[in-house]
Amino acid sequence: MNDTNKKIAVVGTGVIGASWAACFLSKGYDVAATDPAAGAEERLRKLVQTWWPTLERMGMTDDASPERLSFHASPEAAVQDAVFIQESGPERLDIKRATLAQISAAAPADTLIATSSSGIPASQIQDAAQHPERVLIGHPFNPPHLIPLVEVVGGRLTSAQAIEKAMRFYESLGKKAIHIRREVKGHVANRLQAALWREAFHLVQEGVASVSDIDAAIAHGPGLRWALLGPFLNVHLSGGEGGIEHFLEHLGPPVEDWWADLGEVKLNPELNQLLIAGVDQELGTANLADIVAQRDELLLTLLKLKAQSDLLP
């Protein structure tokens, strides 16, 4: 990025955009934000202040300051002179297309435009933009100021240089960027989550285990390893000295047998009620805000430990 101008535009400052804004500010950028909702500026400034101590603990650049946040009435004003644009408006095709047309006309021609979209492929929106080769998906995980993963996905018209530049940019923020080579619904990480949810919901539906026991099965079991190494390396380690090769030979056939037995599930009022009641029972009288605060505190500790460790990057 150009060091003399370090302005990033954040278009849409809801759940995801506000967290992106805080992340960019913590890395020493000027952030020019915009959002048409009433009270959006006040809400954003308050969230940035709330998150600032956490961002300080995560590590910020010396020049980082919440004072470097500006708020603009129009997307055109926000994106002027921006070196990068992160779009995080509503997940609606018509709004994404209109926003892209608007911001691409006002931004410098070579400024990357990343959309946070979880489900709308770049190919369905980028032709609305001027210079569509710089439009791509930069899909974060909530909250982007804490979770490192960003999925970068190009559309039909996205250039290889734009992908490369976006990857380098996110990595420069300390993010873990992965390039998804083909547009598929839900990108990669959410598809993996959805595969697990399908079986978890199915097991509840069939009465095999309670909601809280299924949560425990992940949070006190494989989930601990998944936060450190992904599914393939965990399989490799499960194979002992023979690694994944031995695992595939030895446990491959039973795993195929389990695959054949996994359930198909459709959400319906009865199943939804079982899931809702199960979560209510699991939570009991626990306070949700306390749980979120404790989860975030542990997450921060884990992220710091991971950053200090030599375990694969």
Ligand X SMILES: NC(=O)c1ccc[n+]([C@@H]2O[C@H](COP(=O)([O-])OP(=O)(O)OC[C@H]3O[C@@H](n4cnc5c(N)ncnc54)[C@H](O)[C@@H]3O)[C@@H](O)[C@H]2O)c1
3-state helix, strand, coil in the chain (%, to 5): 55, 10, 35
State yes or no: residue 142 binds ligand X (CB under 6 A): yes
Phi, then psi, of 298 in degrees rounded to 5: -65, -40
Alpha carbon distance 149, 193 (integer Å): 14
- Nearest Cα residue to 169 out of 82, 99, 261, 41: 82
Longest dimension (CA), the chain: 62
Residue 51, helix vs strand vs coil: helix
Tokens of 166: 């976006």
Task: Please give the Cα distance from 23 to 17 (Å, whole number).
Answer: 10
The only residue of 8, 10, 16, 25 in contact with ligand X, by rule CB under 6 A: 16
Q: Does 151 bind ligand X (CB under 6 A)?
A: no
Helix (H) or strand (E) holding 85: strand 84-87
Torsion angle of alpha carbons 63, 294, 226, 201, nearest 10°? -130
Pick from 12, 121, 154, 155 the residue near ligand X by CB under 6 A. Answer: 12
15 in contact with ligand X (CB under 6 A) = yes
Q: Does 158 bind ligand X (CB under 6 A)?
A: no
Near ligand X by CB under 6 A, which window of 137-145, 172-180, 260-268, 298-306? Answer: 137-145
Quick check: 278 binds ligand X (CB under 6 A)? no
> In angstroms, what is the minimal distance from the CB of 63 to ligand X?
27
Pick 91 or 127: Cβ nearer ligand X: 91
Q: Which of 264, 114, 263, 124 is nearest to 185 (CA)?
A: 124
Q: How far is CA 193 from CA 96, 175, 247, in A?
A: 25, 20, 23
**Residue 91 engages ligand X in binding (rule: CB under 6 A):** yes
CB of 147 to ligand X, least distance (A): 9
| Segment interacting with ligand X, rule: CB under 6 A, options 12-20, 104-112, 152-160, 299-307 | 12-20
Q: Tokens 């959006």, residue?
A: 40
Does residue number 111 form part of the binding site for ligand X (CB under 6 A)? no
Answer yes or no whether residue 17 interacts with ligand X by CB under 6 A: yes
- Is residue 121 near ligand X by the rule CB under 6 A? no
Report residue 309 as tokens. Answer: 């460790």
26/117 with CB nearer ligand X:
117
Q: What is the DSSP letter of 4?
A: T
Would you give the binding string for ligand X spanning residues 60-79, x where CB under 6 A is met? ---------------x----
Figure out which of the listed residues 117, 135, 150, 177 binds ligand X, where binding follows CB under 6 A.
Answer: 117
The residue from 116, 165, 167, 303 that contacts ligand X (CB under 6 A) is: 116
Q: Least separation, in Å, of the C-beta of 34 and ligand X? A: 6
- Closer Cβ to ligand X, 83 or 120, answer by number: 120
Q: What residues line the site for ligand X (CB under 6 A)?
A: 11-17, 35-37, 40, 75, 88-91, 95, 99, 116-118, 139-140, 142
